[in-house]
Every structure is written in structure tokens, then in C-alpha cells.
């Protein structure tokens, strides 16, 4: 037996390909055609699946909208809390400055009173 050349190998491959195509076509013709009840049943199942999918999609959209609203509410609450905290800090700083100012005034008044007492004591000693 001789070694097959390119043309012989090509012809053998073409024959094998044709045989597979014929086998596939024969199987396709042998397959039973679905009857009307099977088609109707499949259509009904497809409609049910589509309804379930649509319901799930609506639930998902509602959940996403609720989560978005919750995030917005949380962000607003956070901003309000930050504003309140900032306002409280400003009030506390103003009160602290006022207390420091009053303490400085009291200290200045006490120092002035001390100087006045020292002057008065000096005058008394000089007389």
C-alpha cells in the first residue's frame, strides 16, 4: 500500500464530512415534530417564566429604590447631625470666649483694686 498523497487525503476528508452531514440530516428528519398541545404547553411555561422574571425585576427595582431612599435619608441625617455638631461647637467656643473675657475683666479689676489698696496703704503710711 502506498502513502496517500494530498488529493487522496482531501477526498477522504470530504467523504467523511459528507457522511456526517447525511447522518445529521437523517437524524433531523427522524425527530418527532412537536404537536400543538406540546407547543401550547411550552408557550404557557414561557409566559409563566416571563411573569416570574418580570415580578422579580419589579421587586429588585423596588428594593433598589428603597435602598437609594435610605441612603439619601442617611446622608441628610448625617449632614444635619454635622450641622448641629458644628453649631454646638460654635456656641461652646463663644461661651468659652465670653467666660475668658469675663475672667480677664475680673482679674484686671482685682489687680486694679490691689493697686488702689497698695496706693491707699502707701498714703496712710506717708501721713
Q: pLDDT tens across 50-79, in order?
A: 999 999 999 999 999 999 999 999 999 999
Distance separating alpha carbons of residues 50 and 113, to the nearest angstrom? 93
Report the predicted TM-score, pTM, of the whole model to 2 decimal places.
Answer: 0.48
Q: pLDDT tens across 94-127, in order?
A: 999 999 999 999 999 999 999 999 999 888 888 7
Residue 2 is predicted with a pLDDT of 64
Angle, CA of 13, 19 and 21, to the nearest 5°: 105
Residue 3 is predicted with a pLDDT of 67
Q: Per-domain residue ranges for the chain? A: 35-126
Residue 127 is predicted with a pLDDT of 74
Amino acid at each position: 500500500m502506498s502513502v496517500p498523497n494530498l488529493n487522496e487525503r482531501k477526498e477522504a476528508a470530504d467523504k467523511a464530512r459528507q457522511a456526517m452531514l447525511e447522518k445529521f440530516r437523517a437524524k433531523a428528519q427522524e425527530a418527532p415534530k412537536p404537536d400543538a398541545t406540546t407547543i401550547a404547553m411550552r408557550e404557557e411555561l414561557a409566559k409563566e417564566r416571563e411573569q416570574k422574571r418580570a415580578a422579580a425585576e419589579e421587586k429588585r427595582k423596588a428594593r433598589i429604590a428603597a435602598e437609594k431612599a435610605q441612603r439619601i435619608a442617611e446622608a441628610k441625617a448625617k449632614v444635619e447631625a454635622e450641622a448641629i455638631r458644628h453649631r454646638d461647637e460654635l456656641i461652646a467656643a463663644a461661651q468659652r470666649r465670653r467666660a475668658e473675657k469675663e475672667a480677664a475683666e475680673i482679674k484686671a479689676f482685682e489687680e486694679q483694686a490691689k493697686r488702689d489698696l497698695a496706693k491707699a496703704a502707701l498714703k496712710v503710711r506717708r501721713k
